[in-house]
Amino acid sequence: MHPLFLFLSFVALLSALGVVFAKNPVHSVLFLILTFFSLSGHYLLLNAQFLAAVNIIVYAGAIMVLFLFVIMFLNLNVETEPHKPALAKIAAAVAGGSLLLILVAALKDVLPTGVATGTPFNSQIGMVDQLGLKLYTDFLLPFELASVLFLIAMVGAVMLGKREAGERNF
């Protein structure tokens, strides 16, 4: 196996464990950011540059900043979270375990492309132009629907941010 792959997987697994086991929620968020970075590294190894960059921009650059923003406000002085009841812990363990089972069941028959199926692996599939062609020909309707959804969300955010008549915020 590629040494970079091993290194990135090591970092990804270790930081993913760190997300779960860190006592301080801010540390959890920082570990999650590190996990996203190692996943982006995996995308780069697969020659999917666009996906790698977008993963960093959207998750590490925007969503995680918001997470950190909220958590900094919530846990200003509390070092540890209050303990959850035992029932919640058991329920979480069962739910997580069944998700793991489903993932293992779904992925156990997967073969690497080009090994047994005979499909040649296209190394350029992750490039921007290839991805764009695919999105705008084969998947045009779902893509456009998703973008309309995002546009609605953005208009909604601007509406929420607009000042109401007669309101003073400061």
How far is residue 61 from each of residues 1, 37, 41, 54, 56, measured CA to CA in Å? Answer: 30, 11, 15, 9, 6
Q: Closest separation between CB of residue 26 and other proteins, Å?
A: 6
Structure tokens at 4: 């970079």
8 close to 35: Cβ distance less than 8 angstroms: no
Q: Can residue 154 be called a binding residue for other proteins (CB under 8 A)? A: yes
Q: Can residue 53 be called a binding residue for other proteins (CB under 8 A)? A: yes
Which CB, 12 or 43, lies closer to other proteins?
Answer: 43
28 close to 18: Cβ distance less than 8 angstroms: yes
Residues 72-91 that bind other proteins (CB under 8 A): 72-73, 76
Q: Can residue 153 be called a binding residue for other proteins (CB under 8 A)? A: no
Binding residues vs other proteins (CB under 8 A): 26, 30, 33, 49-50, 53-54, 56-57, 60-62, 65-66, 68-69, 72-73, 76, 127-128, 154, 157-158, 161-163, 169-170
